[in-house]
Chains A and B, each alone.
Chain A
Amino acid sequence: MQTSARDRGLAVLGSVVRPVVYIGLSLPAILIVLASFTAGDNLRFPPEGFSLRWYSAAIASEPFMSALWTSTKLACIATACSLAIGLAAATAMDRYTFLGREAFRTLTLSPLIVPMVVLGLGLLQFFAWSGLNQTFYGLLIGHVLITLPYVVRTLTAGFILFDKTLEQAAMNLRAHPVTVLRRVTLPLLAPALISAAVFAFVTSFGNITLSVFLGFSGETTLPVQIFTYVEHNYDPILAAVSTLVILVTLIIIAILERLIGMEKLA
Chain B
Amino acid sequence: MLDSLAPRRSWRDRAPLLILLAPPLMLLIIFLILPMLGLVRSSFSEGTGPSSFGWTLGQYSKFLTDTYYLAVLAETIGFGLIVAVACLLIGFPVGYSLARLPPHKRRWRLIAVILPLTLSLVVVVFGWLVVLGRTGLLNSILIGLGVVDTPQRLLFNRTAVLVVLAQQFLPFMILSVMSVVSQVDPVLEQAASNLRADRFTTFRRVILPLSMPGILSGMTLVFILTVSAFITPRLIGGARIQMVGSLIFEQVLTVLNWPFAAAMSFILLTITLLVTGLANTALAVKMTSGGRHAN
A residues sitting closer than 8 Å to B (CB atoms) are: 3-4, 6-7, 10-11, 13-14, 17-18, 21-22, 24-29, 31-32, 35, 42-46, 84-86, 88-89, 91-92, 95-98, 104, 107-108, 110-111, 113-126, 128-129, 141-142, 144-145, 148, 164, 199, 202-203, 205-209, 212-213, 222-223, 226-227, 230-231, 234, 238-239, 242, 245-246, 249-250, 252-253, 257, 261-263, 265-266
A142: chain B residues within 8 A (beta carbon): 31
Partner pick for A115 among B114, B121, B228, B234, CB 8 A cutoff: B228
Bound state CA distance, A198 and B135, in angstroms?
36
Bound state CA distance, A29 and B113, in angstroms?
13
> Is the beta-carbon distance between B32 and A111 smaller than 8 angstroms?
yes
> Is the beta-carbon distance between B136 and A115 smaller than 8 angstroms?
no
Partner pick for B230 among A44, A117, A207, CB 8 A cutoff: A117
> Is the beta-carbon distance between A4 and B24 smaller than 8 angstroms?
no
> Is the beta-carbon distance between A32 and B112 smaller than 8 angstroms?
no
> Is the beta-carbon distance between B198 and A4 smaller than 8 angstroms?
yes
Looking at A107, A209, A249, A266, the one whose CB has the most chain B CB atoms below 10 A away is: A266
> Is the beta-carbon distance between A124 and B112 smaller than 8 angstroms?
no
Bound state CA distance, A32 and B130, in angstroms?
7
B1: chain A residues within 8 A (beta carbon): 95, 97, 164
A241 → B minimal CB distance (Å): 9
B160: chain A residues within 8 A (beta carbon): none
B85 → A minimal CB distance (Å): 15
Task: Check B188 for interface membership: any CB of A closer than 8 A.
Answer: no
Bound state CA distance, A227 and B123, in angstroms?
9
Task: Check B224 for interface membership: any CB of A closer than 8 A.
Answer: yes
In residues 25-57 of chain B, which contact A (Cβ within 8 Å)? 25, 27-28, 31-32, 34-36, 38-39, 42, 50-51
B245 → A minimal CB distance (Å): 5
B4 → A minimal CB distance (Å): 5
Which 5 A-B residue pairings sit nearest by Cβ, starting from the closest? A28-B127, A206-B120, A115-B228, A44-B135, A122-B35
Is chain A's binding surface mostly helix, strand, loop or mixed?
A: helix
12 A-B residue pairs with CB within 8 Å: A25-B170, A42-B135, A43-B135, A95-B3, A98-B21, A117-B248, A118-B36, A209-B121, A212-B231, A242-B126, A253-B111, A262-B111
Bound state CA distance, A257 and B129, in angstroms?
30
Is chain B's binding surface mostly helix, strand, loop or mixed?
A: helix
B79: chain A residues within 8 A (beta carbon): none
> Is the beta-carbon distance between A230 and B140 smaller than 8 angstroms?
no
Task: Check B7 for interface membership: any CB of A closer than 8 A.
Answer: no
> Is the beta-carbon distance between A121 and B258 smaller than 8 angstroms?
yes
> Is the beta-carbon distance between A31 and B131 smaller than 8 angstroms?
yes
> Is the beta-carbon distance between A27 and B127 smaller than 8 angstroms?
yes
In residues 191-218 of chain B, which contact A (Cβ within 8 Å)? 198-201, 203
Q: Could you list 15 further interchain pairs (A-B, Cβ under 8 angstroms) beyond the known A44-B140, A124-B252?
A: A3-B198, A22-B94, A32-B123, A35-B130, A45-B130, A88-B19, A117-B230, A117-B249, A119-B35, A120-B252, A125-B50, A142-B31, A164-B1, A238-B126, A266-B179
